[in-house]
Amino acid sequence: MRVTTKGQVTIPQNIRKKMGITPTSEIEFIEENGRVYLLKKETAKGTENRFKKLRGIATIKMSTDEIMALTRKKE
């Protein structure tokens, strides 16, 4: 595995899946006895995706064009 000039590495997909690491996950690195460990930080319950519970509850059925027309200033 190669480190980029920005110090980034790609976590292999099988490890991300096994550890439940998603694009919004927080991780930390722990150095111990000359080894570095990757740990997934635990998030406070309910803060991981606070908008997930709201998805799909809208009652108004509007197209994207209709929504955009409402948000754009008419000249």
Confidence of residue 6 (pLDDT cuts 50, 70, 90): very high
Over residues 9-51, the pLDDT tens digits come to 999 999 999 998 988 889 999 999 999 999 998 766 655 567 7
The mean per-residue pLDDT over the stretch 38-67 comes to 77
CA distances for 65 relative to 60, 68, 71, 73, angstroms: 14, 5, 10, 14
Q: What is the predicted pLDDT for the residue at 49?
A: 67
Residue 13: the pLDDT is 94
**Report field, pTM of the whole predicted structure over 0.85:** no
Query: Residue 11's pLDDT is what?
Result: 93
- Structure-token pair, residue 49: 């995706």
Beta bridge partners of 39: 28
Tell me which residue has tokens 């955009």. Answer: 68
Which amino acid, 8?
Q
Candidates 9, 5, 51, 43; CA nearest to 25 is 43
